[in-house]
Structure 1
Amino acid sequence: MINPKIFISLHVNWSKNKNLRGPVVIYQVSGESYHIAQIIQDHLNNYYGIKKPILKGNPYFLMKKLDMPSTIVELGYISNHKDFKILTEESSQDELVAAIVSAIEEYFLLYPAESE
């Protein structure tokens, strides 16, 4: 039986405004979702060299049905030249993965999951 402790949905953003760039992390209304979102946003902000806040999300169907902390992570804007390069080059994809893994490890250090 699978018993996930967190849910992270990874996406790529797009906008008509080609100047928009960087990660957008959306949390659901719960303290634990807020915390994991903030940690992921901080790690991705460090990677991108920018400061963006997390956003409170709408009550998305899937996330309303989840019992664990859940976030949506928009990894960058494919419509922005700098982000496009980050999102499509293998080396920077590996760095994005490392940033997210590091964020997850930090989250579980701060908020250990209960064993079952």
Structure 2
Amino acid sequence: MVTDSLSSTFSALADPTRREILLHLASGEATVNELAEPFELSLPAISKHLKVLERAGLIERTRDAQRRPCKLDPAPLKVASDWIAQYRQMWEDRFDRLDDYLQELQKAKQPPRKKK
């Protein structure tokens, strides 16, 4: 099955453990053991999460002698953010129109002021 990169990104981000891993990697590279530390998961379970993130292009795994550190690749997050931004603008426009409409309704409900 062929999936587009945006679908892979959102699929990877759907899991809270993977989001936490990305948050950790945002502060710098880390090994699998370092990434597994805050979780009550086995190393194989963490490795599976890392494979999903790697397939989505969200992390890169490198080799440094015996170490295999992971690091964040933020490019797919930028693509997802840009896609979401299109809809953000649409919703902000709709909320602005709703706000204008509600202000008109408020003005129409106010009784006319009496002249002195």
TM-score, length of structure 1 as denominator length: 0.27
Q: Which has the higher contact order (CA 8 A, sep 6+)?
A: 1
- Bigger proportion of residues as strand: 1
Q: Which has the larger Rg?
A: 2
**TM-score, normalised with respect to structure 2:** 0.27
